[in-house]
Structure 1
Amino acid sequence: MTVRRLLAETGSAELAEWLAYEKLTGPLGGARGDVQAALIASVIASVNRGKGQRAPTVADFMPRWDRTKVRKSPQELFRMAQMANAALGGGFNTTTP
């Protein structure tokens, strides 16, 4: 799917939701590749470590997508989703049924 088609078929609210989800969980679809690459890197580093050095773990080579030390509250995450929605040209439905 091209970006043009994605933007034509997906509303800004949905894109903002996916953006917020991706910020929490890391890139969609790429997480498996990250684990695989980290596993290979940890094995290579392990067999090449010096005597007495700690064996590296897979976690040592995993990219950290959420680099914030403080977890965001649901309200902060919602505000971020609103900002992304606005940046993508979306509007807000403020009426409640």
Structure 2
Amino acid sequence: MAYEHVSGPIGPERMDVLHSILAATVSNTARGKGRKAEPKDFLPKWDQGAKRQPADWQQMLATVKTMNRRMGGTNLQEGDGHGDPGRTPRIDRHRH
């Protein structure tokens, strides 16, 4: 969903344009006199977030941590006493 939000729909190229033409046609048949609908009235605006200022790295990290927590992931950056954060903990084979 995130990819489609930025780059447009996955599937046949520009099917969104064809559907917006169809929607404008149907709308105009049911409309009285006045301004006619145009296909651009029904065309989704992709990547509206691009106009915003980019977030700094602390905001991005906080967003990723939140998403990870909501999906039930674990945070290997918060050391768990097993050495280097971000690495898989070593199994001690000599421990009884």
**Fold match by TM threshold 0.5:** no
TM-score between both structures, scaled by the size of structure 2: 0.44
Report 1 or 2 for greater relative contact order, CA contacts < 8 Å, sequence distance ≥ 6. 1
